[in-house]
Chain A
Amino acid sequence: MKLLIKQGKIVSHRARRTETADILVDQERIVRIGKKIAARDVQQVIDAQGLPVFPGFVDMHTHLREPGYEYKETIQSGCRAAAAGGFTSVCCMPNTNPPLDNQAAVEFVVRRARECGGVNVFPIGAITRGRLGKELSEIGDLKKSGVVGLSDDGSAVVNAELLRRAMEYASMFDLPILCHCEDPDLAAGGVMHEGKISTVLGLKGIPSIAESIIVARDIALAAYTGARVHICHVSCADSVDRIRRAKRQGVAVTAECCPHHFTLTDEAVSGYDTATKVNPPLRTRQDVEAIKKGLRDGTIDCIATDHAPHAAVEKDAEYANAPFGIIGLETAFALVISELVNQDVLTLAQVVEKMAWRPSEILRLGRGSISEGAPADLTIVDPLQEWTIGREHLFSKSANTPFIGRKVRGKVLYTVANGMPVFAAAAG
């Protein structure tokens, strides 16, 4: 189909200013960008007068739960949640059942995603068979079936020798290793950040060093192997410092952080609301500030959601027994605007960089910018609109978010993926 977006303000990671123009989309691609395009046989016109048009967001850290946990999320429901959040591409983590550690499982995900016909789904393959940290997956096969990165997300690869070999092997296929950094012994039994609040609440803490010790190790391995290494969901100041120093030394390391980690602190756990239980845990005000600083100075390359759906019956448990995870696709953009853009941490151009351009570059997706000939992945937003996050705004099968009831600014109005409209906000 042909689609014309009129008079939007095109936001690019390169330009300081937005450029007002019409965008003509034909089939899956952007065919023309111009001051005023008069096109015939256009099936749909979207009036974007005065509204920023972003390259569709790319979430490099999503849990779609299918196959195996379809009661939490399916590829279809997850893709609808993504579209509602302005994401046109999501990278789904391999901790499914069975895990994405073999060609058949990856091909299943790719096929299901194609049948759903929504946003792009790029699978992340497991580094090790069964995500057990014992032996390497058939990484060549995984690459052939479509994975764009490798991760044992949910657990760190504890054996440093095995991770070294994984890095060396993955680099032959130009696949980055996405590291879940958590020392399992330091974190054992922990359910929240270790500090004053965990002491008052009598909950077992997860110290910051459980993360930063593994960040330091994985940076050392990246430097030694020369492989591309990406640090997932950075949550603490110590990790940010180590990544900053590594980048200065020229190590090929990149990093992401999640909206909940720059929005909330461990104080949010005080009411024992299991929606605040997430791994890595919500940390302190100093950690939040360090993450913001890391985003501003480029230490942290990307913002990823770590969208982790869990059924209400699972979260309705004692705090210690509830599963870790927060859903994030539908709320990420509003939190980025409210907590970062409106607080002068990031410009809109930097939002493009963190949410579209860099993730696409790290995973070699060839997306993340608006130009003639590029895939037509576009997100039109109103950065000023104020709204209160409600259950009705969630398209995920699960609703495990501590942000319900929160007043935010910045709303996704339209999402176009591969030239097809996949989301339009309800009026009002």
Chain B
Amino acid sequence: MKEWDRTDLLSLQELSRAEIELILKTAASFKEVSTRSVKKVPTLRGKTIVLSFFEPSTRTRSSFELAAKRLSADTLTMTSSTSAIAKGETYKDTFKTIEAMQVDAIVIRHGSSGIAQQLAAYVAPAIINAGDGCHEHPTQGLLDLFTIQERKKSFDGLKVSIIGDIAHSRVARSNIWGLNKLGAAVTVCGPRPLLPRDIDRMGVEVTTDLAAALKDADVVNVLRIQRERQQAGLFPSLREYAMLYGISREKLEKYARPDIVVMHPGPMNPGIEITPDVAEGPFSVIFDQVTNGIAVRMAVLYLVMQANEADVPQE
């Protein structure tokens, strides 16, 4: 069996430990490209990648675009306001049309859970999930793994706590799958209405006590909290959220290990889920995450598109 034969990247749930490790290894070799003065390799020259973003996104879209360009691929960006979906076309018609333009890969960000999986069954180009609803955000999960590995070397027995709105977080789900497969122990923590039903059955520890989640943790991954959740009655106020679950220097010093690593997938709400002094302080690897995102996405585009190429029967 080949090391990598997936023609899509839809989730971390579907990947094996060996496949995740291969992506991380490949990303490590691509990371160097971005440090050169000429930041480009010819790997995907002549390939077309569509970046279709049906939700607002700055960092993921920029990251994918730079990853594609540093691999010499051509990109076409499609956002919801420019797409015919806004005119009532179904997503299937939209992507059949894009497929007919003979593109090689489609990177998709969409508010509906499962759309990447539905699309992969429907069109031929490689599908890369850039975040589908509350389901998964596999490249974010991978760049988080990559960043943790840089700092902590091994995942065995590593304790990672994810704090915040677990229920609506695709980042949390991808992290849980990835970390569990690599041998880390995951704790999720947040107010009960933001902890989804039966989350313990995904193989995580569950707590509503931030102090308990910080104690002994090697890594804390802080999720963005969205105002709509308060409006939906899931917690009383951002003020109370910040008091109970906001990550501040005082709480870290009081409860956490001195070598704890703090992550955040961005964009941040400074002063709510994380205080600016933590985000910019010595525990934080938030900007490493952004840098590593490009390397990881280069690795994913490379592996998936190679496999997709091999998948096409040769004449």
Bind each other: yes
Interface on A for B, CB 8 Å cutoff? Answer: 194-196, 198-205, 207, 271-272, 313, 316-321
Given A199-B197, A199-B199, A202-B170, decide whether A271 and B113 contact each other with a Cβ distance below 8 A: no
Given A195-B198, A205-B197, A207-B197, decide whether A318 and B115 contact each other with a Cβ distance below 8 A: yes
Q: Which of B110, B117, B202 contacts A200 (CB 8 A)?
A: B202
CB nearest to A188 among chain B residues: B232
Contact at A313–B90, with CB atoms within 8 Å?
yes
Asked if B134 CB lies within 8 Å of chain A CBs, one says yes
Q: What's the nearest-Cβ distance from chain B to residue A212, in Å?
A: 15
Q: Complex Cα distance A201/B136, Å? A: 8
Give me 9 other A-B pairs in contact (C-beta within 8 A), A199-B198, A202-B135, A316-B92 excluded.
Answer: A196-B198, A196-B202, A201-B135, A202-B132, A202-B170, A204-B134, A313-B90, A318-B118, A319-B118
Interface string of B158-175 (1 = CB under 8 A from A): 000000000000100100
Asked if B2 CB lies within 8 Å of chain A CBs, one says no
Contact at A202–B173, with CB atoms within 8 Å?
yes
Which residues from A are CB-within-8-Å of B92? 316
Contact at B197–A203, with CB atoms within 8 Å?
no
Which residues from A are CB-within-8-Å of B90? 313, 316-317
Asked if B271 CB lies within 8 Å of chain A CBs, one says no
Contact at B198–A202, with CB atoms within 8 Å?
no
B89-115 at interface with A (beta carbon < 8 Å): 90-92, 110, 112-115
Interface string of B67-93 (1 = CB under 8 A from A): 000000000000000000000001110
Given A202-B136, A203-B134, decide whether A196 and B201 contact each other with a Cβ distance below 8 A: yes
B128-157 at interface with A (beta carbon < 8 Å): 132-136
CB nearest to B110 among chain A residues: A318
Asked if B196 CB lies within 8 Å of chain A CBs, one says yes
Q: What's the nearest-Cβ distance from chain A to residue B119, in Å?
A: 10
Q: Which of A195, A207, A320 contacts B133 (CB 8 A)?
A: A320
CB nearest to B118 among chain A residues: A272
Given A316-B90, A317-B91, decide whether A203 and B114 contact each other with a Cβ distance below 8 A: yes
Interface on B for A, CB 8 Å cutoff? Answer: 13, 90-92, 110, 112-115, 117-118, 132-136, 170, 173, 196-199, 201-202
Which residues from A are CB-within-8-Å of B118? 272, 318-319
Please give me the 6 A-B residue pairs with the lowest Cβ-Cβ distance, nearest first.
Answer: A272-B114, A202-B135, A318-B112, A202-B134, A196-B198, A202-B113
Q: Complex Cα distance A205/B136, Å? A: 17
Q: Complex Cα distance A158/B191, Å? A: 30
Which residues from B are CB-within-8-Å of A321? 112
Which residues from A are CB-within-8-Å of B135? 201-203
Q: Complex Cα distance A318/B201, Å? A: 26
16 contacts between A and B (CB under 8 A): A194-B197, A195-B197, A199-B198, A200-B173, A201-B135, A202-B133, A202-B173, A203-B133, A204-B134, A271-B117, A272-B113, A313-B90, A318-B112, A318-B115, A319-B114, A320-B133
Q: Which of B13, B114, B196 contacts A318 (CB 8 A)?
A: B114
- Which of A203, A207, A316, A319 is packed against the most chain B CB atoms within 10 Å? A319
Q: What's the nearest-Cβ distance from chain B to residue A65, in Å?
A: 21
Q: Complex Cα distance A319/B118, Å? A: 9
Q: Complex Cα distance A319/B115, Å? A: 8
Q: Complex Cα distance A410/B134, Å? A: 41
Q: Complex Cα distance A175/B153, Å? A: 72
Q: Complex Cα distance A320/B54, Å? A: 15
Q: Complex Cα distance A269/B11, Å? A: 16
Q: What's the nearest-Cβ distance from chain A to residue B289, in Å?
A: 21
CB nearest to A204 among chain B residues: B134
CB nearest to A316 among chain B residues: B92
Q: Complex Cα distance A313/B91, Å? A: 11
Contact at B113–A201, with CB atoms within 8 Å?
yes
CB nearest to A313 among chain B residues: B90
Which residues from B are CB-within-8-Å of A316? 90, 92
Which residues from B are CB-within-8-Å of A195? 197-198
Which residues from A are CB-within-8-Å of B201? 196, 199
CB nearest to B134 among chain A residues: A202
Q: What's the nearest-Cβ distance from chain A to residue B205, in Å?
A: 15
Which residues from B are CB-within-8-Å of A200? 13, 173, 202
Which residues from B are CB-within-8-Å of A319? 112-115, 118
Which residues from A are CB-within-8-Å of B173? 200, 202
CB nearest to B113 among chain A residues: A202
Q: Complex Cα distance A272/B135, Å? A: 11
Q: What's the nearest-Cβ distance from chain B to residue A188, in Å?
A: 9
CB nearest to A191 among chain B residues: B113
Q: Complex Cα distance A203/B136, Å? A: 11
Q: Complex Cα distance A181/B136, Å? A: 32
Q: Complex Cα distance A204/B229, Å? A: 14
CB nearest to A197 among chain B residues: B198
Q: What's the nearest-Cβ distance from chain B to residue A81, in Å?
A: 26
Which residues from A are CB-within-8-Å of B134? 202-204
Which residues from B are CB-within-8-Å of A198? 196-197
Contact at A320–B113, with CB atoms within 8 Å?
yes
Q: What's the nearest-Cβ distance from chain A to residue B226, in Å?
A: 15
Q: Complex Cα distance A204/B92, Å? A: 22
Q: What's the nearest-Cβ distance from chain B to residue A329, in Å?
A: 27
Which residues from B are CB-within-8-Å of A313? 90
Which residues from B are CB-within-8-Å of A320? 112-113, 133
Which residues from A are CB-within-8-Å of B133? 202-203, 320
Which residues from B are CB-within-8-Å of A272? 113-115, 117-118
Q: What's the nearest-Cβ distance from chain A to residue B20, in Å?
A: 18
Which residues from B are CB-within-8-Å of A271? 117
- Which of B113, B135, B173, B202 is packed against the most chain A CB atoms within 10 Å? B113
Which residues from B are CB-within-8-Å of A201? 113-114, 135
Which residues from A are CB-within-8-Å of B170? 202
Q: Complex Cα distance A202/B90, Å? A: 21
CB nearest to B166 among chain A residues: A199
Q: What's the nearest-Cβ distance from chain A to residue B172, in Å?
A: 10
Q: Complex Cα distance A195/B90, Å? A: 29
Q: Complex Cα distance A319/B116, Å? A: 11
- Which of B91, B110, B198, B199 is packed against the most chain A CB atoms within 10 Å? B198
Q: What's the nearest-Cβ distance from chain B to residue A357, in Å?
A: 39
Q: Complex Cα distance A318/B94, Å? A: 13
Q: What's the nearest-Cβ distance from chain A to residue B124, in Å?
A: 18
- Which of A200, A316, A317, A321 is packed against the most chain B CB atoms within 10 Å? A200
Which residues from B are CB-within-8-Å of A199? 196-199, 201-202
Which residues from B are CB-within-8-Å of A318? 91, 110, 112, 114-115, 118
Which residues from A are CB-within-8-Å of B113? 201-203, 272, 319-320
Q: Complex Cα distance A198/B114, Å? A: 11
Q: What's the nearest-Cβ distance from chain B to residue A187, in Å?
A: 14
